[in-house]
Structure 1
């Protein structure tokens, strides 16, 4: 082994140690985001606003992950979009926070929402954000997510919360719908 090669080996090992876990994490997140039956929700809590970001395979909402092909499939897609837009039906925030639904933005290329082009055979996703305006969102002691009630194919919801009192991660499944925000 040459001296230059010996000197570069530790540098290569350091780079691999620094870069590979990040790539593995990105791949794991990508795969976790597209696991049928599993959805992910990130929640950001600020004093006057609470925002949820949703990412789920379209299969969880419709039972298929492509553009609708029939009138019945289009009707199912329209019903799922309407259910997501009516976020107060699947999100319940502690009333102490004084939150009211302000905006729902949904994106799915397969459903023609938010632009983008869906290619046949690609995994189709639904991404979205739900924004609530609040008197004081930091007063919320819990949030309930009823995605599994609204969409029977959702079995697990991975939740990350970031707010003034820190960050937390929870996995909701079975009959568990509530995320406790109190420490």
Structure 2
């Protein structure tokens, strides 16, 4: 990062960290949305911040509530700068404009329904919150149609499945069939 950008980010962080957090602003809004989640798969969460005011503003949009076992796999920044604390820094959102950064997270295999995920947008001394409920679908691992199972077991014939004796009997039967057809 260049010195000018680093200094700007540092000053903005100092201002935001020392300002008191108050009620939501009428000039801004944050909307969180998510797709349906499937255990063992990924889901994308989007946090749309809108500047409904008359002047450009700087903001930090952050993911404030995400279950610990839901890990971030990737992020789309929409012009912001991604930070390791699961947030984006936007140096300027134009008046009447919006930004919509998103994250794609891994859904744990044991995820249950529903999961609430929240985000915050900080502008000066105001915080705007948006949240969404992620619906976790049942796993798609249901069997349909014909089954094609691979035999399992031990090769000594002591367990279930094909053993050595069964394999030898099948080979002998195949040899007899081939011998008769010649």
Work out whether the TM-score is over 0.5.
no
Normalization by structure 2: what TM-score?
A: 0.26
Q: Larger radius of gyration, structure 1 or 2?
A: 2
Bigger helix fraction: 1
